[in-house]
Amino acid sequence: MRSRSSTLHGIRRKFAALSALAIGAALAVAVPTPASAAARVDNPYVGAKAYVNPQWSAKAAAEPGGGVIADEPSFVWMDRIAAIEGAGDAMSLREHLDEALDQGANLFQVVIYDLPGRDCAALASNGELGPTELDRYKTEYINPIADVLDDPAYASLRIVAVIEPDSLPNIVTNAGGEAGATEACAVMKANGNYEKGVGYALHTLAAIPNVYNYIDAAHHGWLGWDTNLAPAVDEFKKAATSEGATVGDVHGFIVNTANYSALQEPYVKVTDSVNGTTVRQSKWVDWNQYVDELTYAQGLRSLLVSRGGFDSGIGMLIDTARNGWGGSARPSGAGPTTSVDDYVNGGRIDRRIHAGNWCNQKGAGIGERPKSAPAAGIDAYVWAKPPGESDGNSQPVENDEGKGFDRMCDPTYTGNGRNGNNLTGALSGSPLAGHWFSAQFQELVRNAYPPLDGGGSDDDTQAPSAPTGLTVTGKTSGSVSLSWSASTDNTGVTAYDVYRAGVQVGSSATTSFTDTGLTASTAYSYTVKARDAAGNVSAASAAVSATTSAGGGTGTGTLKVQYKNNDSSATDNQIRMGLQLVNTGSTAVNLSTVKVRYWFTPEAGASTFGTACDYAALGCGSVTTGVTASGSSAAGASHYLEVGFGSGTLAAGASTGEIQLRLNKSDWSNFNEADDYSRTTNTAYADASKIGVYVGSTLTWGTAP
């Protein structure tokens, strides 16, 4: 449930310039000149050649099979003051930057990681500064880093800075009496030095025109519950408006930093049910709203914009260095339906004992290689934690780095409240956090997914066949749904990449995909490419075109509502739905003035109702619900469920994110929803022209019955 520090060690010497990796697919671009570098771009990873750390590269290349990934880019960690000038044999920050220029790179990645009282919930990555040493953090750590980064010699580099892993999430979950809370976290919450330190770092580094700040936002197994997510956004905003910082100093957020949560769970969805029991009720998911990092990152992004007031153009990074979970233990399909726990445990890609386990996990593998713009809202998959660097020592080790012995790194420890009192799943024989852990690196290589080309098996150079039969299966005013016939491959297709007008808009593990967030009455063209485990990519399918439907509703306002059906049965005792509001305008909307109405008829039975919010990206505490008799004689519309919002604003171009609702009659008798005015059967979000949006008393979207 934590991410750990990294310290770079190795022989201090200059290596021959490595060929800097072109992030993304065949991005052959010229390195920007210093004169053009000052203007920030929307996504610093697009068209970028990223710096490869030669000291990490040398260690990786020396391991069996490691040469395959030795030229992958990863972050350089500034985990103590001495790291700025070079601690031990590690290169200094300036030497790394000079080496980046020598490589012809135009992207440099660095982790800022030395807050006072650092990582208050774990001992393995405790730092050198005491809880009250904020002034030292500013003057001896942040200011010297800023002085180096601001050198005009490095103006041609896009510098991505990840700001203080673990700090703000610990304040949310581990500082107020929760299971596993610590006294150290309570101290940091009380003195506010995490927020002040993060704010100072954001404000100071954002003043450098070519620096891009990304705040650490933990992972779905830490903050993915409704009770954690909205408070986390509030905490992020608090930090981002401290010590002179503004939300404009934040370019984006990063999730799964130095952690192991699966990027995608193809066989387990949070909306699945087994014999009437939802996946959320399983022991593994434990009522979390997410099961993987991609959906968590995208859901969090929506909430950061709608609740936190962050810019609607913010992007997310996902650390995929160690979340591949390949090897023989990787499931190839869904688990058995004997129980919801069997279903989840049999089909989940993440093979940890508990999602709260974070230290040197057994069975983990290298994940997706660094890649730009891989999915909607995601700036890049990155390697924030260089594979092979330990998360912490499995037994006590004397050291002068301020790092303690954390029992979560001990494979014999039976756990605590943060991992459900389970075994830790840690590898034995691990060294101090940040030190090279050869056994772990070799296991990561063996279990890589997608597998590494040349990592112990015959090289696969054969690309899959091009997908055929690309067809438009549905469309709304804001989405297009596609399907196609499966490709063939000598080893097997692992994913399909979907392109709109030649630009990738997403990936799918199946032969279908829905592209959302589109403009009404607009023509779009699509192609699809297949990809295998070795990264071989097929030729593009034949193109297909689709024109989105006209916008629904009678209103002329800028809000629209999207709906999905969360209950396949039309005759059970609950009505369940997903709703989300989208602001299509150019100015923010005060949500306290907004109501959404869903019309239905209860048929026989009780005339009073119960309502519930099961999940809301902006927090169920911000959502109000109630049922009212409509007075309408229209078929299927005698009553309506009215949804309101206690407070907050919805930024221009933003969505509230998903809101999961249900209602029942007080006697729990059955409905017959088949003729309900507002109901449709789509199970993916689509514009809903028969659900009304009111601003004040004015209908601004939808057609009322």
Annotated active-site residue 151? The verdict is no
Average pLDDT over residues 480-484: 90
The model carries a pTM of: 0.67
**Spatial contact of 287 and 240, defined as CB atoms under 8 Å apart:** no
**Whole-number pLDDT of residue 335:** 92
pLDDT exceeds 80 at position 71 = yes
**Whole-number pLDDT of residue 1:** 33
More confident residue, 471 or 621: 471
Catalytic residue of the set 114, 119, 166, 460? 166
More confident residue, 204 or 406: 204
Two structure tokens written together for 30: 């010229």
**Whole-number pLDDT of residue 137:** 98
Annotated active-site residue 391? The verdict is yes
Question: To 5 degrees, how large is the angle CA 552–CA 568–CA 561?
Answer: 25
| Residue linked to tokens 């959502």 | 623
Residue 298 main-chain phi, psi, to 5 deg: -70, -40
Closest CA to 140 of 114, 159, 164, 166: 114
Catalytic residue of the set 119, 391, 489, 497? 391
Handedness of CA 300, 306, 310, 311 (dihedral sign): positive
Within 15-165, strands assigned E span 21-22, 49-50, 76-78, 107-112, 158-163
Two structure tokens written together for 609: 């109702």
The predicted-structure confidence for 163-176, as pLDDT tens digits, reads as follows 999 999 999 999 98
Give the confidence band of 30 by pLDDT, cuts at 50, 70, 90.
very low
**Whole-number pLDDT of residue 584:** 83
Q: What is the mean pLDDT of the chain?
A: 87
Give the confidence band of 398 by pLDDT, cuts at 50, 70, 90.
confident
**Whole-number pLDDT of residue 8:** 29
Give the confidence band of 478 by pLDDT, cuts at 50, 70, 90.
low
Give the Cα separation of 66 and 452 in Å (integer): 9
**Whole-number pLDDT of residue 28:** 31
**Spatial contact of 393 and 430, defined as CB atoms under 8 Å apart:** yes
Give the confidence band of 477 by pLDDT, cuts at 50, 70, 90.
low
The predicted-structure confidence for 457-472, as pLDDT tens digits, reads as follows 345 678 899 999 999 9
